[in-house]
Structure 1
Amino acid sequence: MTTVLAPMEGTAVGLAAVPDPVFSAGMVGPGTAIDPLRGPGKAVAPIAGKIMKLHPHAYVIVGDDGKGVLVHLGIDTVQLKGAGFQLLAAEGDRVSAGQPVVAWDPSAIEAGGRSPVCPVVALDALSEELTGVAEGAVHVGDELFRWG
């Protein structure tokens, strides 16, 4: 059983609330989304493991059990080409759950006309494998969902 933690403070709104059909339809995988608290902050590792992919706007951490979790910071933020994001770790790093990975400011994303909503997705999972999916207010490190 893998416990996936909230990578940022905000409101768990579910994938259906993500303004991107690839995420909202669950094509990337099951999970949930967080509407983040506005203002500068840090997105942290939702599980312990190795950073397999790290872009300024998104990262994938794979645990020792082989389960990968994607955190996507906002929607259409790849178009920013890294502007407004500061990497706090490197691809290939081993991280503990709760360790900061990217610093960013959701209010700046929103001011630029993009949604700051953050999908948190269990990669290569089936929706029935996820339980205890959080709803409403979450703080960094709160349990977001269980996978297994």
Structure 2
Amino acid sequence: MSLSVQAPLPGRVLALADVPDPVFAGQMVGAGVAIEPSRDRGPLDVVAPISGKILKLHPHAFVILGSAGRGVLVHLGIDTVKLRGEGFTLLAAEGDQVEAGDPVVRFDPTEIDGTGYSAVCPVVVMDSAPDSLADNTVGAEVTTGERLFDWTA
């Protein structure tokens, strides 16, 4: 099984090890990368990184279950659950079928910066083995919808 995951938002790609959260940095949720969001565009529409069904949707995070039965988590910032939805706008609903590139949530990373939380956004293949990405773009600047990484089981 393999999965090609697109960038859900623009920014600079970081290794999960560089995320200021031990759960993501330790790949306990799964393998992936993180994106340090672009700050020069104002509010960003965060899009589905794969096609599938929105399995879980919170203002600060969502999971899309792809046709191969694998979920991809997009987490908007670190500890942003503590904001209780403040600064996030839902653009889709839990249970929606989405295509890769469809808008899911809108947020402004500069507003997150003002809260004292990190705006870095992990993008993770749920329950995948650590370091199981076939190819990734760590260190690169990506635009929304560009290939972020490939994952193979």
* TM-score under structure 2 length normalisation: 0.94
Structure 1 residue runs of 5 or longer lacking an equivalent are: none
Range with greater deviation from structure 2 (53-62 or 124-133): 124-133
How big is each residue's C-alpha offset from its partner over 1:67-89, in whole Å with a ceiling of 9 and x where there is no partner?
10000000010000000000000
From 129, 146, 153, the equivalent of 1:142 is 146
Q: Which residue does 2:84 correspond to in 1?
A: 81
Structure 1 residue 103 corresponds to structure 2 residue 106 = yes
The alignment yields a C-alpha RMSD, in angstroms, of 0.9
The 3-state SS of whatever aligns with 2:23 is helix
How many corresponding residue pairs? Answer: 148
Q: Identity over the aligned pairs, expressed in percent?
A: 57
Q: Which amino acid aligns with 1:31?
A: G
CA distance in 2, matches of 1:30, 1:129: 6
* Cα shift at 1:128: 4.9
From 47, 51, 55, the equivalent of 2:50 is 47
CA distance in 1, matches of 2:107, 2:70: 25
Structure 1 residue 94 corresponds to structure 2 residue 97 = yes
The 3-state SS of whatever aligns with 2:30 is coil
Q: Which amino acid aligns with 1:19?
A: P
* Cα shift at 1:129: 3.5
From 96, 112, 130, the equivalent of 1:127 is 130
Structure 1 residue 19 corresponds to structure 2 residue 20 = yes
CA distance in 2, matches of 1:93, 1:80: 24
Q: Which amino acid aligns with 1:26?
A: Q
How big is each residue's C-alpha offset from its partner over 1:41-66, in whole Å with a ceiling of 9 and x where there is no partner?
11100000000000000000000110
Structure 2 residue runs of 5 or longer lacking an equivalent are: none
